Chains A and B, each alone.
Chain A
Amino acid sequence: MKNRWIALYVENEVGVLAKVSGLFSGKSYNLQSLTVGTTEDESISRMTICVTSDDITFEQIKKQLNRMVEVIKVIDLTNVPIHMKEILFAKVLNCTTADKEELFQIAQVFAVEVTDIGTDSVLLECKLTERRNNELIALLKSKFQRIEVVRGGAVAVESISTSCR
């Protein structure tokens, strides 16, 4: 069992998202995240899907997606060079002054932005890989009492030249 990524070109139509997500629940596939947005062609949407599965199930998932009428193309991103980022908001509440200082340091090290601040709370805006976001959340959880996390799910695009991930 490991994480795998798929990019999916689909018809930008009502119900397609429900159909794709319904496939995962209906067939007990383990969906980690799913993001969707329109492409340069407004009649086509692109999804980035992360699933956890074994090899055989993953093959089956790709085949099942491929056979949907609304799915135009399935791209397996698991072993190709890609750029992948996930947007994450992390709000830290009940901060002391020392906490705030520490948060600024954390922001610097993780290369994320402090986008909002109040008397006792700080908002971090992060565009990192999923894994880096996980690390940041773990760190914030261990250091602070109350945090609020909003994650957007990963989006990915094939690399042009580098083997970036």
Chain B
Amino acid sequence: MDITGRKLFVKALQEEGVTTVFGYPGGMVTDLLDELYKQEDIDVVLPRHEQGLIHEAEGYAKATGKVGVCLVTSGPGATNIITGLADAHYDNIPLVCFTGQVPLSLIGNDAFQEVDIVGMTRSVTKYGVTVRDRKDLGRIIKMAFHIASTGKPGPVLIDLPKDIQVEAGPGEYPKSVDIRGYKINENVHVGQLKKAYKLLKSAKKPLLLAGGGINIAKANDKLLQFAEKMQVPVVTTIMGKGSLPTNHPLYIGNCGMHGRYAANMAVSECDVLFSVGTRFNDRITGDLNEFAPKAKIVHIDVDTASISRNVVVDVPVVSDANLALEKLLEWAETKDTKEWMEQIAGWDKENPLEMRRDSGMTPQMIFEHINKSFGKAIYVTDVGQHQMWATQYLELDFWHQMITSGGLGTMGFGFPAAIGAKLGSPDTPVVCITGDGGFQMNIQEMATAVTQGLPVIICLFNNHYLGMVRQMQQLFYGKRYEITCLRKRKSCPADCKGPNAACPPYSPDFVALAESYGAHGIRVEKEEDIQDALDKAKTYTDAPVVIEFMIASDELVLPMVKGGNAMSQMILK
């Protein structure tokens, strides 16, 4: 029986098991909203801005493993999600985004709220399409969910013209779909993997590098077993952090630009670097000529295009992390790596990861309290100094997961992503770790969290600066703090070299702001008050709470490798 496009839209979502849609209204999606009103299986969450909306869907997808579904209108509704699409594309988060579109007959006429959103987002989506024929609608939605969630996951965009939404057509939603240009690699080349294994087996200083692919494939257990069986130490990328419990004796730490000294030294000194599920991003490698200079490199990744793109590898293996590790576990034999582990421990002793403790409240202290406050938690970070501290100091394991914007580095991601995570995982404490810059980029989502009744705990690191760039200005640009001070007013001296007693007050007052939204606010200025604030925050069950930690403005993220330098050239103090 023929049904309207809008009915098929809802039917498709139901059959895909969608229970939450992040939607913002507009003229070109009113029919879809009307259809959503008439059903009870799917909750529609109303954010306060479409950028917040898509980051919420990302957080939801990350926390649940399900596809995040977005519904926005044409024109500005659609363009506002582009940053989130790029973010999801980079970090391989499965999303299906529906954008309303003007009727087919108006496309190309510069109609009201018309943009070529498929054209604009081609390079930041895994797949994007405008539905031009009502009879294709079911197949296209099926394709979208399939493409978004399989292989290397990513965002898919479906542009849905208004007339397609109301036109009658086939009512079936396909059970499966065959796409001739899209085949998932379900095998692993055993010969190649054996070669990789033999290399690792023969190594004197072997090192596992675990990327985000481990977390995406949920291959954490297998990685743990493999590392333990082989007794090979592990370093991670930022996206890979948590792939091995961070308190595990074989875990060294993050490598890369703000990685642990011992981790970067291990990469620089190892003789076999066995990497799984990483893109060898420039933040990991630094100067390519100096990256793992003594090592033969094995690279296992599900995406052929990631292999030998940035780093030329000795043994490439195209495979899903799960499949490869499963096979590797069959072969794994214990190695004697005691001497190598001791060398690594020596580096860590030489330059451990720690902050000064002479005076005042440091970020490290805050993280120490966070780490002991939650039996289980999803930590969601924004982007900036606090994020780097989080990747350095947060303790992660099976019960403690971290969600962060790694590839695109999207300020404004953290808070809405935390809202999405809480919606997807209501029984798990969700702790948003954010900065005073990034929090303000999507601060309007306070209203979303309040109206949804989500007790997200927001740990706001307020240093009065856009700290990541301020750090670069402090270290490399003679303290010329151009547009990085968030207190700066017209009355300030042009050549300000840092905070002093004459500085104007900070705006906004985050505690008062939280309260004005109907949320809770706590300000913490001393170390003694950190634990009380966290304990108090845990008692709120109805609305989010902002804990504003007043930290020193000149706190640095260290160690640091200057962009383009070798990873062994770390700035330590």
Contacts and interface: CB of A to CB of B under 8 A. Distances in A.
Q: Do A and B come from one complex?
A: yes
Interface of A: 10-11, 13-15, 18-19, 22-23, 26, 56, 59-60, 63-64, 66-72
Interface string B300-312: 0001110111001
A52 to B, nearest CB: 19
Contact of B304 (A63, A68, A72): A63
B127 interface: yes
A14 B304 contact: no
Nearest to B303: A67
Contacts of A10: 181
A18 B122 CA distance: 9
Contacts of A71: 181
Interface string B176-203: 0001111000000000000000000000
Given A69-B126, A71-B181, A18 B308 contact: no
Contacts of B123: 22-23, 26
B119 interface: yes
Contacts, number: 42
B132 to A, nearest CB: 7
* 8 shortest interchain CB distances as A-B pairs: A63-B305, A72-B181, A69-B127, A69-B182, A26-B123, A63-B304, A19-B122, A71-B181
B122 A14 contact: no
B304 A69 contact: no
A61 B552 CA distance: 47
Contacts of A56: 308, 312
B130 interface: yes
A18 B304 contact: no
A60 B305 contact: yes
B304 A15 contact: no
Contacts of B119: 15, 18
A14 B127 contact: no
Nearest to A71: B181
A18 B309 CA distance: 24
Nearest to B307: A63
Given A15-B118, A18-B119, A19-B122, A69 B303 contact: no
B147 interface: yes
Given A66-B304, A68-B181, A72-B180, A60 B122 contact: no
A64 B470 CA distance: 37
B122 A22 contact: yes
Contacts of A60: 305, 309
B179 A67 contact: no
Contacts of B307: 63
Contacts of A64: 305
A108 B127 CA distance: 50
Contacts of B132: 14
B473 to A, nearest CB: 30
A71 B183 CA distance: 11
Nearest to B179: A69
A15 B122 CA distance: 9
A74 to B, nearest CB: 10
A15 B117 CA distance: 12
A59 B306 CA distance: 11
A86 to B, nearest CB: 27
A6 to B, nearest CB: 15
Contacts of B304: 63, 66-67
Contacts of A18: 119, 122
Nearest to B306: A63
Contacts of A15: 118-119, 122, 129-130
